[in-house]
Chains A and B, each alone.
Chain A
Amino acid sequence: MPAGWKPWFGVTLWCLLALPPVRFMLESSMTLQMLVQIPLLGLSGWWLAASHTDRFDNVLTRWNRSGISGLLLASLASIIWMLPRALDASLTIPWIEVAKFAGVPLLIGVPAAISWPRAGFVVRGVLLIEIVAMAFRLGWLYLDSPVRLCSNYLISDQQQLGKSMLAIGVAISLLLAGKLLWGRIDTD
């Protein structure tokens, strides 16, 4: 296996994120929790996925053509962690915090890492467009909402998150546009 270091990076990153001071720091703001902590938990799972064996891979492939089932699982699990209620609850309800630390790596990071390389042009395109649309939709909602969506966070934090999500949507769109114009694209 060429990428033998990856699972260890994943485990180390996960342990770092679970350290109480790091956890409190990243959960002190809505923006940090949603745009740093949760994506990094996903990344730890993505790296961890490199530890699976080829035999497992062969079995899985039969159920995961073009990575569709895996990416569907990752998308649905992501929706859960975009709910303001889930962000709020992970601060106050211990089992929800456990569910986040287990669920984000295992149900978003791992299936995404296994499935993305199998996904063809169309599947990737649909997913990327949905990610951009989601960034704009949620960004707009957070920026525009006159009420606090999370009882544990300030409205200024919510608006900051909204701005950051709009910026992420713009950045991904620009990257994609750049790739379409100047990059090499496999359309198989």
Chain B
Amino acid sequence: MSLLRTLLASLLILAGGVAVLAAATDGFRAFTSETARRIDVREHPRALPMVALQTADGRAIDFAALRGRWLLVDFIYTRCMTYCSVQGGEFAQLQRDLAQPIAAGQVALLSISFDPAHDDPMQLAAYQRRSGDHGSGWIAARPVNTPDLDALMRVFGVSAVPDGLGGFVHNAAIAVVNPRGMLVAILDWDAPGEAQQFIQQRLEQ
């Protein structure tokens, strides 16, 4: 009898274990928190917090003011000396590739600094200049209040870890916000072509 009971108990444990594993991995799709963040944003678009941002030219804006167009958002810190310093170049390239919809007011690019203590408007402007910014459609900004930064990073799912050398390592990505102000997708930071395609497909719909 103990053999049958053990078999029954094992089958129940196995079924329970598989169910928990499925739940813990979004149905065996997400084994890392980065994949989980992308799936969750895609399936449950997130409303953005109404936080005050200060741009490189000193203006105050918020997400409400940016509604009505598609937004491509990345998180940056201008002191970055490693791979994330490429992010600026990627956004300058997107600015070129999406020049038409940008000029038509359908798309804007937004870089948000998660190092607001250092990244004042002057630093943000210098960052855009050395990344190859050419004109309109690309806003660099920092949150005005520190608690707002936490709220922003939570909603976008951004985490920045000190790298031990005075900088940060963060899960860089290109976040897509739709014209109604909802975060709808998170794309690879090093594939601006993918982001451009995503936007153009949505604009053609």
Residues of chain A touching chain B, judged by Cβ–Cβ distance below 8 Å, are 61-66, 68-69, 72-73, 76-77, 79-80, 83-86, 88-89, 92, 148-155
- Selected from A80, A149, A152, the residue in CB contact (under 8 A) with B20 is A80
- Selected from A79, A150, A153, the residue in CB contact (under 8 A) with B21 is A79
Q: Mark B157-196, 1 if CB is under 8 A from A, else 0.
A: 0010101100001010000000000000000000000000
Q: Mark B1-13, 1 if CB is under 8 A from A, else 0.
A: 1110110111001
Q: Can you show 15 pairs from A to B with CB atoms below 8 A apart?
A: A63-B6, A64-B9, A69-B6, A69-B10, A72-B10, A76-B17, A76-B21, A84-B31, A84-B32, A88-B32, A148-B171, A151-B32, A151-B33, A151-B159, A154-B169
Contact assessment for B3 and A65 in the assembled complex, using a CB-CB cutoff below 8 Å: yes
Which residues from chain B contact A62 at a C-beta distance below 8 Å? Answer: 1-2, 5
Given contacts A68-B10, A73-B13, A148-B169, contact A85 B21 (CB under 8 A): no
Minimum distance in angstroms from A64 CB to a CB of chain B: 6
Q: Does B36 touch A at the CB level, under 8 Å?
A: yes
Which residues from chain B contact A69 at a C-beta distance below 8 Å? Answer: 6, 9-10, 13
Closest 4 CB pairs of A and B: A76-B17, A65-B6, A88-B33, A69-B9
Contact assessment for A80 and B9 in the assembled complex, using a CB-CB cutoff below 8 Å: no
Which residues from chain A contact B97 at a C-beta distance below 8 Å? Answer: none
Q: Mark B53-71, 1 if CB is under 8 A from A, else 0.
A: 0000000000000000000
Which residues from chain A contact B31 at a C-beta distance below 8 Å? Answer: 83-85, 149
Range for the number of chain B residues in contact with chain A? 20 to 34
Q: Mark B27-43, 1 if CB is under 8 A from A, else 0.
A: 00011111110000000
Given contacts A69-B13, A154-B169, contact A86 B24 (CB under 8 A): yes
Residue of A whose beta carbon sits closest to that of B35:
A85
20 additional contacts, CB 8 Å, given A65-B3, A80-B20, A152-B33? A61-B2, A63-B2, A63-B9, A66-B6, A69-B9, A72-B13, A72-B14, A72-B17, A76-B20, A79-B17, A80-B21, A85-B24, A85-B25, A85-B31, A85-B36, A88-B32, A89-B33, A148-B171, A149-B32, A154-B164
Which residues from chain B contact A77 at a C-beta distance below 8 Å? Answer: 17
- Selected from B14, B35, B164, B171, the residue in CB contact (under 8 A) with A76 is B14
Residue of A whose beta carbon sits closest to that of B157:
A151
Complex CA gap A65/B3 in Å reads: 6
Complex CA gap A2/B173 in Å reads: 58
Contact assessment for A154 and B163 in the assembled complex, using a CB-CB cutoff below 8 Å: yes
Minimum distance in angstroms from A43 CB to a CB of chain B: 22
Minimum distance in angstroms from B49 CB to a CB of chain A: 18
Contact assessment for B30 and A92 in the assembled complex, using a CB-CB cutoff below 8 Å: no
Residue from the set B3, B18, B30, B32 with the largest chain A CB neighbour count within 10 Å: B32
Contact assessment for A152 and B161 in the assembled complex, using a CB-CB cutoff below 8 Å: yes
Contact assessment for B17 and A151 in the assembled complex, using a CB-CB cutoff below 8 Å: no
Minimum distance in angstroms from B191 CB to a CB of chain A: 14
Complex CA gap A151/B34 in Å reads: 7
Complex CA gap A148/B159 in Å reads: 12
Residue of B whose beta carbon sits closest to that of A66:
B6
- Selected from A64, A65, A150, the residue in CB contact (under 8 A) with B33 is A150
Given contacts A62-B1, A85-B24, A85-B30, contact A151 B6 (CB under 8 A): no
Complex CA gap A83/B10 in Å reads: 22
Minimum distance in angstroms from A7 CB to a CB of chain B: 24
